[in-house]
Structure 1
Amino acid sequence: MDLKKEDLKVGIWGLGNEGFALYSYLSSKILLNNITPFTSNEQTLRIKTIHSTGKIEGTYQFIPTNEIRKILECDLIFITTLTTAYEEVASKIASFSIQNNIDLKQKIFVLFSGKLGGVLVFDKVFKSFGIETNVIETDALFACRKIDVDTVWIRGIKKWNLLISNKDAFKSASDLHLYKVIKMIFDDIQLDVADNFIQRGLTDFGAMAHATICLINLANIDSKRDLLFYIDGITENAVRLIEKVYLEFEEVANRFNTHIVDPIILLDRYYGTSKDNLLVAIKNVPNYKHTKMPNSVNNRMLYEDVLNTLYPLTLISKKIGIDLKVIPSIVNIMSEILLLDLEKEGRTLEKMGINNFFHRR
């Protein structure tokens, strides 16, 4: 694929908060008629324009579709669904492409918040159908929230993030053409190629902080107190726990010949903030000053981070002989509170297709 930005046909599968923010961002960058938003939500299918406010101000023509064929006509397809839906989405795409004789070999699928090993999950599903294609993952780049059915408030845009693909998930090849295409789209964001899927998946402040802060604030969440998550909900004790989680991330990463950026540096790379200490840094991230405490433990922050980052990390750590202390405790407590069947619902080594990898090691 050797296309200019304005020639790319771009699809977005999933039109929640992040999907709306991505649509607004892309609409401000490239030709509107080159973006195909896909959803099965009847209310969203009736929307004719999208409004964005905050970091991106604009009103954009919106022509959504519920036809899989149309989004598979795109060159670049962003997946902005919940990460817990990856297997289902990949199976739908693979099955439809085979039934309708659609060649996916030159397509690029971009997972917008892959968590740990998301690119491996997608790749395994595609290969189970005999499909070879291109999958890249990065983290969600927008701090955003829908404030109406057709309006998204974009509170923040990350200035830096990492990429990894299914072609080089275990040892990166930074000169892959896939990366050049993504960097061309996000030309105002620094996107570096990760060393491997471990570094990409664990370079995620949310995965360090979300479950930790929720655990400390269970009473506040259950009481539905009107608090700010990163302002009222965080204390020195919460910060110490986040730092312990980070150190365990780093311990595992070191075994894979990589490292994870210190959370203070990570927040500064994301948004720009104080580097005095982690508590001050968190409280000074501009868009964090608007994040509300969830009013239920059944929220996306907990489900995705526990099931798709912290849990698979505990499985990987056992395979390589590292005895983690803090992360398995968080996983066990939260899985009991959320009534999760980790083996069934969580991201296992089998779902990522890496059981044999550890046997080889």
Structure 2
Amino acid sequence: MNFAVIGAGNGGQCIAGYLSMLGYSVKQQDKNGELIKSLQEKGRIKLKGKVVGEASLDLVTTDVHQVIEDTDIIMVVTTADAHMEVAQEIAPFLQKNQIVILNPGHTGGALEFLHTIIQHGCLNIPVIAETQDLLFSCRAVSVGEVNVSGIKRVMDIASIPSEKASEVVDLFKDIFPQFRARPNVLYTSLNNLGAMVHPVPTLLNAGRIESQQSFDYYSEGITKGIANVMEQMDEERLSIGKALGVDLTSILQWQYEAYGIEADSIYEALTCNESYIGIKAPKTLDSRFLTEDVPCGLVPLVNIGRLLGIEMPVTQSFIETANSLLRKDYRKEGRNLEKLGIKNHLEELMHVIS
């Protein structure tokens, strides 16, 4: 197998470097010309922490066509709000025998990606898969040098068509043995825990963030009260799974599955997780914890809930708070049902995910 990694941020550099260290042919693309130039000059990607080593890539470029041409597996490792743009750019060049993996898809990623490439003239629909989350907890300390603070013990992955997920897992058994095939993309999309863990503490610490206070996001930014709000939002998400017959994972359960954290509360689990130690809160509200997780996490969640007739007052309140603070309309800009390729019928959703 050979790989294209689209995106050269924290996760993109980490995954590209890791795959290359294992001996695979890897090409990397990012639209940020200055970042790509710096990576080209650096010549290698170095990983430290939970993964140690360094490797060079076969190609580093801003040309997306060049990296996906004759490539078996396309790893999209961008923020979720860039998925639509990526889909638009690569739609004409995709081949049916390729596999696209969104790392991660967030909520509705594979659905939006499929709908977008069809709209933009893709004649050869590839397998489109999405992971529940990014496998690595990592931060680029400088260009080409990534600190890996944690590796999740298990990572759910699903695909469209749904039966292809097992084949993807088999392909990756020697690369990412953590991959676990799920019945369909509802299991990965509705288990987007970042949408629970990121917006609530960020918005409830808005004053500290805007006044440029430096604090650890998890150990200092999450109090027992904030954890209580996250738990209520999580309960609204779990109610969607119950209505659809999808066995979803709670935040507390995920902390055990992914990190081995045994705790009695969300507060205890998130503030004591060693993989989160040292992760600082964002310096601005214009952070992916809002600009990604609200439009690509909370908005599609509420829209799917609406299809089921489920009221989600806590989740909706945080969408409106983000809209007010950032002067946005994430209900319109985010992953609404139209962008997921679904109009207003549950039957449409169930048909697409099959």
TM-score (norm 2): 0.91
Q: Is the 8 A contact 1:213 1:238 kept in 2?
A: yes
CA distance in 1, matches of 2:210, 2:15: 32
Cα deviation for residue 356 of structure 1 reads 5.5
What's the counterpart of residue 107 of structure 2? 116
CA distance in 1, matches of 2:66, 2:17: 23
Aligned length: 340
Cα deviation for residue 292 of structure 1 reads 0.3
Cα deviation for residue 48 of structure 1 reads 0.8
Of 179, 182, 204, the match for 2:169: 179
Structure 1 regions of 5+ residues with no counterpart? 1-7, 98-102
What's the counterpart of residue 128 of structure 2? 135
TM-score (norm 1): 0.89
CA distance in 1, matches of 2:152, 2:22: 16
CA distance in 2, matches of 1:242, 1:38: 35
SS of 1:74's equivalent in the other structure is coil
Q: 1:290 to 1:127 in 2, by over 3 A?
A: same
Of 125, 145, 155, the match for 1:151: 145
Greater Cα offset, 198-207 or 351-360: 351-360
CA distance in 2, matches of 1:342, 1:203: 20
Cα deviation code 1:306-345 (max 9, x no counterpart): 0011011111111211111110011111111122222442
SS of 1:15's equivalent in the other structure is coil
Cα deviation for residue 277 of structure 1 reads 2.3
Q: 1:344 to 1:131 in 2, by over 3 A?
A: farther
1:355 aligns with 2:326: no
Cα deviation for residue 158 of structure 1 reads 1.2
Q: Is the 8 A contact 1:230 1:283 kept in 2?
A: yes
Of 309, 315, 319, the match for 1:321: 309
Tell me the amino acid that sits aligned with residue 52 of structure 2: E
1:72 aligns with 2:69: yes
SS of 2:298's equivalent in the other structure is helix
Of 50, 54, 58, the match for 2:49: 54
Cα deviation code 1:206-244 (max 9, x no counterpart): 211111111221111111111001011111111111111
Q: 1:205 to 1:359 in 2, by over 3 A?
A: closer
Q: Is the 8 A contact 2:212 2:284 kept in 1?
A: yes
Q: 1:281 to 1:312 in 2, by over 3 A?
A: same
Greater Cα offset, 148-157 or 339-348: 339-348
1:255 aligns with 2:249: no
Matching of residues 1-361 of structure 1 within 5 Å = 8-31=1-24, 34-43=25-34, 44-45=36-37, 46=40, 47-62=42-57, 63-67=59-63, 68-95=65-92, 97=93, 104-128=95-119, 129=121, 130-138=123-131, 139-168=133-162, 173=163, 176-187=166-177, 189=178, 191-355=179-343, 357-358=345-346
Q: Is the 8 A contact 2:157 2:165 kept in 1?
A: no
Tell me the amino acid that sits aligned with residue 64 of structure 1: V
Greater Cα offset, 219-228 or 121-130: 121-130
CA distance in 2, matches of 1:228, 1:93: 38
Tell me the amino acid that sits aligned with residue 185 of structure 1: I
Cα deviation code 1:77-132 (max 9, x no counterpart): 1001111111111111013x2xxxxx610000010011111001111122221332
What's the counterpart of residue 5 of structure 1? none
CA distance in 2, matches of 1:178, 1:164: 9
Cα deviation for residue 253 of structure 1 reads 0.9
Structure 2 regions of 5+ residues with no counterpart? none
Tell me the amino acid that sits aligned with residue 240 of structure 1: N
CA distance in 2, matches of 1:240, 1:356: 32
SS of 2:221's equivalent in the other structure is coil
Q: Is the 8 A contact 1:274 1:284 kept in 2?
A: no
- Identical counterparts, % of pairs: 28
Q: 1:194 to 1:335 in 2, by over 3 A?
A: farther
Q: Is the 8 A contact 2:307 2:345 kept in 1?
A: no
Q: Is the 8 A contact 1:37 1:71 kept in 2?
A: no
Cα deviation for residue 42 of structure 1 reads 2.9
Tell me the amino acid that sits aligned with residue 21 of structure 2: S
SS of 1:59's equivalent in the other structure is strand
Cα deviation for residue 275 of structure 1 reads 2.0
